[in-house]
Structure 1
Amino acid sequence: MSKALPTRSENYSEWYNELVKRADLAENSPVRGCMVIKPYGYSIWEKMQRALDDMFKETGHTNAYFPLFIPKSYLSKEASHVEGFAKECAVVTHYRLKNDPDGKGVIVDPDAKLEEELIVRPTSETVIWSTYKNWIQSYRDLPLLINQWANVVRWEMRTRLFLRTAEFLWQEGHTAHATAQEAIAETKQMLEIYAQFAEEWMAVPVIKGVKTANERFAGAEDTYCIEAMMQDGKALQAGTSHFLGQNFATAFDVKFQDKEGKLDYVWGTSWGVSTRLMGALIMAHSDDAGLVLPPKLAPIQVVIVPIYRNDEQLAQISEKVGEITKDLKKLGISVKYDNSDNTKPGFKFAEYELKGVPVRLAMGGRDLENGTVEVARRDTKTKETVSVDGIAAYIQNLLEDIQESIYKKALTFREENTYKTDSFEEFNNILDTKGGFVLAHWDGTSETEEKIKEETKATIRCIPLNQEAEEGVCIYSGKPSKGRVVFARAY
Structure 2
Amino acid sequence: MAKELKELTSRSKDYSQWYQDLVIKADLAENSAVRGCMVIKPYGYAIWEKMQRQLDDMFKETGHVNAYFPLFIPKSFLSKEADHVEGFAKECAVVTHYRLKNDPEGRGVVVDPEAKLEEELIVRPTSETIIWNTYRNWIQSYRDLPILVNQWANVVRWEMRTRLFLRTAEFLWQEGHTAHATQEEAVEEARRMLEVYACFAEEYMAVPVVKGVKSASERFAGAVDTYAIEALMQDGKALQAGTSHFLGQNFAKAFDVTFADKEGKREHVWATSWGVSTRLMGALIMSHSDDNGLVLPPKLAPYQVVIVPIYRSEEQLAQIDEKVEGIVKALKALGVSVKYDNADNKKPGWKFSEYELKGVPVRLAMGGRDLENNTVEVARRDTLTKETISCDNIDVYIKNLLDDIQANIYKKASDYRKSHTIEVDTYEEFKEKIGDGGFILAHWDGTPETEELIKTETKATIRCIPLDGDKTPGKCMVTGKPSVQRVIFARAY
TM-score higher than 0.5: yes
Partner AA of 1:337 in structure 2: Y
Distance in 2 between residues matched to 1:155 and 1:255, nearest whole Å: 34
Per-residue deviation, 1:201: 0.4
User: Is 1:44–2:56 an aligned residue pair?
Assistant: no
Q: Distance in 2 between matches of 1:476 and 1:368?
A: 69
**CA distances 1:268-310 after superposition (whole Å, capped 9, x unpaired):** 0000000000000000000000000000000010000001111
Is 1:364 equivalent to 2:367 in the alignment?
A: yes
Does residue 224 (structure 1) correspond to residue 227 (structure 2)? The answer is yes
Specify the alignment match of 1:266 in structure 2.
269
Question: Separation in 1 of the partners of 2:218 and 2:484?
Answer: 19
Q: Secondary structure at the match of 1:27?
A: strand
Deviation at 1:179, TM superposition (A): 0.2
CA distance in structure 2 between the aligned counterparts of 1:471 and 1:342, rounded to whole angstroms: 65
Please state how far the C-alpha of 1:467 moved relative to its aligned partner.
Answer: 2.9
Matched, 1:78 2:81: yes
Separation in structure 1 between the aligned mates of residue 337 and residue 142 of structure 2, nearest angstrom: 46
1:254 corresponds in structure 2 to 257
Indicate which of 336, 348, 351 corresponds to 1:333: 336
Q: Distance in 1 between the 2:177 and 2:372 partners?
A: 60
Asked if 1:121 is matched to 2:96, the reply is no
Which AA in structure 2 matches 1:75?
A: L
Code of the residue aligned with 2:303 in structure 1: it is I
Q: CA RMSD in A?
A: 0.6
Q: In structure 1, what is the Cα distance between the partners aligned to 2:200 and 2:68?
A: 23
The amino acid that maps onto 2:429 is E
Q: Distance in 2 between matches of 1:348 and 1:62?
A: 42
Amino acid at match of 2:408: S
What is the identity, as a one-letter code, of the residue corresponding to 1:327? A
- Tell me by how many angstroms 1:409 deviates: 0.5
Distance apart, 1:429 and its partner CA: 1.3
Does residue 159 (structure 1) correspond to residue 162 (structure 2)? The answer is yes
Give me the whole-angstrom Cα distance separating, in 2, the residues matched to 1:83 and 1:139.
Answer: 32
1:196-235 Cα offsets, whole Å, 9 max, x none, are: 0000000000000000000000000000000000000000
C-alpha displacement at 1:475, in angstroms? 1.1
Q: What's the counterpart of residue 244 of structure 1? A: 247
Residues of 1 paired with 2:23 and 2:473: CA distance? 44
* Partners of 1:391 and 1:157 in 2: CA distance: 51
Shift of residue 437 of structure 1? 0.3
The one-letter amino acid paired with 1:104 is R
- Which letter does structure 2 place at the counterpart of 1:169? L
Structure 2 counterpart SS, 1:272: strand
What does the per-residue CA deviation read over 1:406-452, in whole Å, with 9 as the maximum and x for residues that have no partner? 001000000000010001111111111x2100000000000000000
CA distance in 1, matches of 2:315, 2:343: 15
Counterpart check, 1:69 vs 2:76: no
Paired amino acid for 1:426: E
- Between the aligned partners of 2:394 and 2:437, the Cα distance in structure 1 is 43
Encode CA deviations 1:131-164: one digit per residue, 9 max, x unaligned.
0000000000000000000000000000000000
Whole-Å Cα distance in 2 between the matches of residues 403 and 136 of structure 1? 44
Structure 1 counterpart of 2:251, one-letter code? F
Q: Secondary structure at the match of 2:113?
A: coil
Partner of 2:207: 204
Q: State the partner residue of 1:16.
A: 19
Per-residue CA deviations over 1:61-117 (Å, capped at 9, x if unaligned) read 000000000000000000000000000000000000000001010000000000000
| C-alpha distance in structure 2 between counterparts of 1:228 and 1:15, whole Å | 19
Q: Which piece of structure 1 moves more, 2-11 or 175-184?
A: 2-11
Q: TM-score, normalised by structure 1?
A: 0.99
Task: Structure 1 unaligned segments of length 5 or more: list them.
Answer: none
Q: Provide the C-alpha distance between the structure 1 equivalents of 2:391 and 2:470, rounded to a whole number of angstroms.
A: 52
Alignment partners' CA distance in 1, 2:334 and 2:443: 50
**In the alignment, which residue of structure 1 is the partner of 2:457?**
455
Q: SS where residue 69 of structure 2 aligns?
A: coil
Name the structure 1 match of 2:286: 283
Structure 1 Cα separation of the partners of residues 362 and 258 of structure 2: 55
Equivalent position of 1:181 in the other structure: 184
The residue number in structure 2 matching 1:487 is 489
Structure 1 segment 456-475 matched on structure 2, within 5 A = 456-475=458-477
1 CA distance for matches of 2:461 and 2:105?
53
CA distance in 2, matches of 1:274, 1:7: 27
**What is the CA distance between 1:344 and its match in structure 2?**
1.2
The CA deviation at 1:470 is 1.4
Secondary structure class of the residue paired with 2:45: helix
AA aligned to 2:456 is E
Letter in 1 for 2:475: V
Please tell me the residue identity of whatever aligns with 1:335: V
Is 1:351 matched with 2:357? Answer: no
The residue aligned with 1:398 is 401
The whole-number CA distance in structure 2 between the counterparts of 1:463 and 1:416 is 20
Matching of residue 105 in structure 1 with residue 95 in structure 2: no
1:443 paired with 2:445, answer: yes
Amino acid at match of 2:29: A
Q: TM-score, normalised by structure 2?
A: 0.99
Give the Cα–Cα distance (whole angstroms) in 2 for the partners of residues 91 and 211 of structure 1.
29
SS at match of 1:353: helix
The whole-number CA distance in structure 1 between the counterparts of 2:308 and 2:331 is 15
Provide runs of 4+ in structure 1 moved above 3 Å.
Answer: none
Alpha-carbon offset, residue 49 of structure 1: 0.4
Mapping for residues 17-36 of structure 1, pairs under 5 Å: 17-36=20-39
Match of 1:373 among 370, 373, 376: 376
Q: Percent identity?
A: 77
Distance in 1, Cα, partners of 2:119 & 2:471: 52
Deviation readout 1:221-267 (Å, 9 max, x if unpaired): 00000000000000000000000000000000000000011000000
CA distance in 2, matches of 1:469, 1:292: 36
Decide which of 113, 126, 149 is 1:146's aligned counterpart: 149
* Count of matched residue positions in the alignment of Structure 1 and Structure 2: 490
| Matches of 1:15 and 1:102, distance apart in 2 | 47
Q: Secondary structure at the match of 2:236?
A: coil
